[in-house]
């Protein structure tokens, strides 16, 4: 059974080790891991199927006969039929389209639930704090000697959790917190590590299932951290050019996760221009891949003219180019946010080095911007 570990993701390996330790009892393993019994059984089943596709079963191991770079496509077995005739039984690897939805459901099922978050007692109902994370590129691999800084899935998780914690600790006690994931949260958008539009190869760390599990976990944990400081949290999962499909299932996952929690609302709009009206403040977000920064004010006016016209303060936010920039026109201030992520080899060769950061901006419902706190990447 331990031979199966070579076919596991990190989380699957934890489940398998616990399953073995508990005498191969899925019920006992589930209790120890604080997940469902069914999740344990499905995880073991998936790992066995993956191992079989690579040439390993409980009584047959062909992997040692396969040279590097080659894969097992099936096996042939010499046996006899019921009449005693010698026959060859030949099998081939099942050809199928991998159901990403099933991979995602496993990822969600294996997430350990947080303890119930207590509602903060004292908050200012006139304030709302916006936490913006953009172009985070979970799954990107970066090597410091080549690009100036290391980046992988483990670093990405640490930096994000530290940044959210640092921003919530530094920000005023606003009643409302808005978590804006402004696109390109995942580095690629499917089973192949390529850009979805032009199909350019990307520097990748991990498999797509690993990315999905980490992305969901990070977003849920970020909201839970914010719930400790804010009575209400609004969530926006924006579309980016690297995660056109990923943004869709991230919105659905977040909506499903918090559907029974009245303290959390999720913007489920498929339209890649997002808004929130807080008192006399109009807030808008767009990743930046569809329109230039100087044209964003006109686009938002054309879509949300009534809300913007009624507002005293109009603030738009964008990302995409991994650098800070501010543009003002028609009574609208549009701000481009930097990223916390490192550069990949392509970025290091083709673009200037920029300051990596994220910021939490607090708005007063009548007075506009009230406070601003900036954080920089911190792994420890």
**Tens of pLDDT, residues 181-209:** 999 999 988 877 888 877 788 888 878 87
pLDDT for 279: 97
Higher pLDDT, 283 or 73: 283
Element (H, E) at 325: strand 325-329
Read off the pLDDT of each residue in 127-134 and give the average, rounded to a whole number: 98
Which residues, 6 or more positions from 255, have their beta carbon under 8 angstroms from its beta carbon? 266, 268
Domain with CATH 1.10.10 in the chain: 2-63
The model's pLDDT over 285-344, given as tens digits with 9 standing for 90+, comes to 999 999 999 999 999 999 999 999 999 999 999 999 999 999 999 999 999 999 999 998
What does the alpha-carbon distance between residue 202 and residue 188 come to, in Å, rounded to a whole number?
8
Read off the pLDDT of each residue in 29-45 and give the average, rounded to a whole number: 86
Higher pLDDT, 36 or 270: 270
Which residues, 6 or more positions from 334, have their beta carbon under 8 angstroms from its beta carbon? 293, 294, 296, 297, 315, 316, 317, 318, 326, 327, 328
pLDDT for 64: 67
φ and ψ at 168, to 5 degrees? -65, -35
What does the alpha-carbon distance between residue 237 and residue 235 come to, in Å, rounded to a whole number?
7
Confidence of residue 129 (pLDDT cuts 50, 70, 90): very high
For residue 157, pLDDT over 70 is answered with yes
pLDDT for 110: 59
Q: DSSP letters of 102-164? A: HHHHHHHHTSPPPPPPPPPS--EEEEEEEEEE----BTB-B-HHHHSS-B-HHHHHHHHHHHH
Higher pLDDT, 83 or 278: 278
pLDDT for 111: 59
Say yes or no: domain 2-63 is CATH 3.30.460. no
Rg, the chain, Cα only? 24
What does the alpha-carbon distance between residue 175 and residue 122 come to, in Å, rounded to a whole number?
8
What does the alpha-carbon distance between residue 145 and residue 352 come to, in Å, rounded to a whole number?
16
For residue 219, pLDDT over 90 is answered with yes
Confidence of residue 91 (pLDDT cuts 50, 70, 90): low
From the CB of residue 357, how many other CB atoms can be counted at a distance below 10 Å?
A: 15
The token pair that represents 43 in the structure block? 């995880």
Q: Please state the pTM of the whole predicted model.
A: 0.73
φ and ψ at 185, to 5 degrees? -70, -35
Q: What percent of the chain has pLDDT over 90?
A: 55
For residue 141, pLDDT over 60 is answered with yes
Domain with CATH 3.60.21.10 in the chain: 100-375
Confidence of residue 256 (pLDDT cuts 50, 70, 90): confident
For residue 96, pLDDT over 70 is answered with no
Reduced to 3 states (helix: H, G, I; strand: E, B; else coil), residue 296 is helix
Higher pLDDT, 213 or 166: 166
The count of C-alpha atoms lying within 13 angstroms of the C-alpha of 132, restricted to the half-sphere facing its C-beta, is 30
Read off the pLDDT of each residue in 237-241 and give the average, rounded to a whole number: 95
CATH of 100-375 given 1.10.1070.20, 1.10.3720.10, 2.60.40.1930, 3.60.21.10: 3.60.21.10
pLDDT for 198: 75
């Amino acid at each position: 059974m331990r031979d199966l570990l070579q076919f596991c993701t990190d989380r699957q390996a934890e489940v398998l080790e616990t399953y073995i330790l508990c005498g191969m009892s899925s019920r006992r393993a589930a209790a120890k891991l604080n997940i469902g019994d069914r999740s344990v059984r499905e995880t073991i089943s998936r790992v066995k199927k993956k191992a079989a596709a690579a040439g390993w079963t409980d009584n047959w191991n062909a992997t040692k006969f396969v040279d590097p770079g080659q894969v097992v496509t099936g096996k042939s077995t010499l046996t006899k039929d019921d009449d005693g005739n010698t026959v060859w039984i030949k099998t081939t690897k099942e050809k199928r389209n991998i159901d990403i939805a099933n991979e995602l459901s496993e990822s969600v099922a294996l997430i350990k639930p947080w303890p119930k978050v207590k509602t903060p007692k004292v908050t200012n109902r006139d304030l709302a704090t916006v936490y913006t994370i953009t172009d985070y590129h979970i799954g990107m691999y970066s090597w410091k000697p080549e690009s100036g800084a290391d980046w992988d899935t483990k670093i990405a998780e640490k930096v994000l959790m530290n940044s959210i914690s640092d921003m919530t600790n530094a920000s005023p006690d606003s009643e409302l917190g808005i978590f804006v994931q402004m696109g390109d949260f995942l580095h690629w958008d499917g089973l192949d590590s390529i850009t979805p539009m032009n199909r350019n190869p990307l520097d990748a760390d991990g498999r797509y299932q690993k990315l999905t599990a980490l992305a969901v976990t990070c977003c849920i944990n970020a909201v839970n951290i914010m719930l400790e400081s804010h009575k209400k949290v609004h969530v926006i999962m924006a579309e980016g050019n690297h995660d056109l499909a990923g943004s869709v299932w991230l919105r659905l996952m977040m909506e499903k996760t918090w559907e029974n929690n009245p303290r959390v609302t999720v913007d489920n709009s498929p339209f890649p221009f997002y808004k929130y009206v807080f008192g006399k403040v109009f807030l808008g977000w767009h990743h930046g891949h569809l329109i230039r920064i100087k044209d964003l004010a006109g686009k938002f006016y054309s879509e949300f003219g009534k809300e913007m016209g009624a507002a005293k303060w109009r603030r738009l936010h964008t990302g995409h180019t991994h650098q800070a920039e501010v543009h003002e026109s028609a009574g609208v201030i549009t701000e481009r946010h930097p990223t916390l992520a490192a550069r990949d080899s392509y970025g290091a060769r083709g673009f200037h080095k920029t300051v990596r950061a994220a910021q939490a901006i607090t708005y007063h419902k009548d007075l506009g911007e009230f406070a601003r706190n900036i954080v920089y990447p911190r792994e420890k």
